[in-house]
Amino acid sequence: IAGITQAPTSQILAAGRRMTLRCTQDMRHNAMYWYRQDLGLGLRLIHYSNTAGTTGKGEVPDGYSVSRANTDDFPLTLASAVPSQTSVYFCASSESQGGEKLFFGSGTQLSVL
């Protein structure tokens, strides 16, 4: 059982470059989320999707975009990376909107230089 798969596991990126973090789930969960983890700040929600075809902004959406073309995939794109986007990124899913029990992927460590 894979659950949530994120790729890549880590990446070093030059500022100004475009980057897409991939996330795939095999649990057929309706809701998916992208969080970033920063020391002392915990996990902050970037974008979410309650169901395929819909997305919404979280707490820190600026500089990021998402799409939800189908149930399983929820990629996160940084159009022009900046050093402040250096972070660990976690994709998560839940059975439904308001399903507070989240299942997380293993994360992507991104460094923007």
The residue within the footprint of another protein, chosen from 87, 90, 110, 112 (CB under 8 A), is 90
42 binds another protein (CB under 8 A): yes
100 binds another protein (CB under 8 A): yes
The DSSP result for 18-86, as a single string, is -EEEEEEESS--SEEEEEEEETTTEEEEEEEESSTT--EE-SS-TTEEE--SSSSB--EEESS--GGG-
64 binds another protein (CB under 8 A): no
Find the length of the chain. Answer: 113
44 binds another protein (CB under 8 A): yes
Binding-site ranges for another protein (CB under 8 A): 4, 31, 33, 35, 40-45, 48, 50, 56-59, 90, 92, 97-107
